Structure 1
Amino acid sequence: MESPVLLNTTSTIEIIYQDFSLVAVNKPHGLLVHRSPIAADAETFAVQLLRDQLDRKVFPVHRLDRKTAGVLLFALDEAMNSAMQKQFMEGTVKKKYHAIVRGFTEDSGEIDYALKKEDGTVQEAFTSYITLNRAEAPFRTGKHASSRYSLVELNPATGRMHQLRKHMAHIFHPIIGDRPYGCNKQNKYFKEELQMTTMLLHAVELEFVHPLSRELVLIKADYQSEFRRMMELLRFFAED
């Protein structure tokens, strides 16, 4: 179970795309998509906020972890919900994430590493990545006087639970703020010295073919304030 995150949010959520059948929001870090028995401390949910804001029923067509921010897509009726979920299941939706990870990553790479579900089922999982920037900061978290970090673009071809978190940990470049897959020393430093209590993973883009119009839709979400603060602190500058 992830530790609770203090969520500074108003009664509304930022809408970044809307048409007659779909709406997308820029989900803040720390906000659950919907009510969950494993997070009994939560009282506010993206589904609830958007439903109240639009005054109508909404259907989340995919999921983001509680600590992950960025593009979250909803359908406005059951037929569109089924159509979009089908696209996600078939892997035709292109997803792009940005993450700040420990260490200097390679310029680019591919992670082809199967993941095991809680019931023991093994699922194929594939992620490609590109390094956007690297930085070295005077953070002493171990025997060295400084720490290295990379800003990476992650492109998951599959959609397994905690895939990006597990894949980055698998190649020894865990996402900063990730529990339980991350680096305890780094996470402790960021929490105690930098007062950061989230995870530095942001869903930047979703791209898909609209089931009704058949037009290509590209939705982008700006960084949330905490991710941006860490970018500035580490002097990262993302490439367009």
Structure 2
Amino acid sequence: MYKLRLLKTTFYLKDILIKMIIYQNHEIVIADKPSGISVQAGEKAGVPFLTLLEEKTGKLFPVHRLDRETSGLLLAARTSSAASFYSKLFAGGRVEKYYCAVCRGKFNSKSGEITEAVTVHGQEKTAHTSYRVRREFSRYTLLDLTLHTGRMHQIRVHLFQRGHPVIGDRQYGDFKLNREIKERYHISHLMLYARRLVIKEKKIDITLPMPAHFENFLSIFNVK
């Protein structure tokens, strides 16, 4: 299904695929997933990110997921047994997951907890996100976020519930503001990325630098 597109895509990406791999050992691969690429087949059109990575790593097994438009750290396993082990770590809250986002408006407090339930496939699920304001500028806020649970679209839904949707969010966002930013600044990426993964029992602690689309947006306001 993906063979022709994969050949075309990897022709252009083969020189940068290796740079996307941030860490690897005999059990896992941790890579920097770009915005706009689905993790697995079946989400949307296009070659899945894991399929691209397999050109360099061999067979990979999914452990957790990132939304198509979210960039950042993604962990995949090399074997089914490793996938089972690391999936249990994620499900058991033994992996620390940190994100960064730019959202609309300013918060009343510089840090806090969001614990509203989110709806997943028609069912309400408990969810917990911590946030800390890193910078405020103009009409936007740069946030550091900690994901304590891993519900679908959790950060995007939680910030939407608080009236501070993520910039560039096409599902829960401020569509008028997104259109204005695209027309004025030529920026349309979702301003959310998975910046850090910590697995203490495996002595893994990886942090990504800010991606280019974040730097481009923030540079407009001279924010570093």
TM-score, with structure 2 as normaliser: 0.89
Written as runs of structure 1 = structure 2, the 5 A alignment for 1:10-25 is 10-11=13-14, 12-13=16-17, 14-25=20-31
Provide the residue aligned with 1:222 in structure 2.
209
TM-score, with structure 1 as normaliser: 0.83
Shift of 1:26: 0.7
Q: Do structure 1's residue 202 and structure 2's residue 193 form an aligned pair?
A: yes
Provide the residue aligned with 1:4 in structure 2.
none
The amino acid of 1:219's aligned partner reads: I
Q: Do structure 1's residue 110 and structure 2's residue 113 form an aligned pair?
A: yes
1:67 to 66, 69, 72: 69
Shift of 1:228: 1.6
- Are the equivalent residues in 2 in contact too, given 1:29–1:224 (CA < 8 A)? no
The amino acid of 1:235's aligned partner reads: N
Alignment length, in residue pairs?
Answer: 210
1:10 is paired with a residue whose SS is helix
Task: Summarize deviations over 1:172-202 as a string: whole Å, max 9, x none.
Answer: 1110000211111211112222111210001
Task: Summarize deviations over 1:132-154 as a string: whole Å, max 9, x none.
Answer: 00111xxxxxxxxxxx1110001
1:189 to 180, 186, 207: 180
Provide the residue aligned with 2:5 in structure 1.
none
Task: Summarize deviations over 1:85-133 as a string: whole Å, max 9, x none.
Answer: 0111111111000000011122101111001122x21110111100000
5+ unaligned residues in a row in structure 1: which ranges?
A: 1-6, 137-147
- Are the equivalent residues in 2 in contact too, given 1:204–1:220 (CA < 8 A)? yes
2:215 is paired with a residue whose SS is helix
The amino acid of 1:149's aligned partner reads: Y
Q: Do structure 1's residue 34 and structure 2's residue 40 form an aligned pair?
A: yes
- Are the equivalent residues in 2 in contact too, given 1:134–1:236 (CA < 8 A)? no
The amino acid of 1:73's aligned partner reads: L
2:185 is paired with a residue whose SS is coil
Which protein has the bigger helix share?
Answer: 2
- Are the equivalent residues in 2 in contact too, given 1:70–1:223 (CA < 8 A)? no
2:193 is paired with a residue whose SS is strand
Shift of 1:235: 2.2
Shift of 1:224: 2.1
Provide the residue aligned with 1:143 in structure 2.
none
2:97 to 79, 95, 98: 95
Task: List, as ranges, runs of 4+ consecutive aligned residues in structure 1 with deviation greater than 4 Å.
Answer: none
Shift of 1:215: 3.3
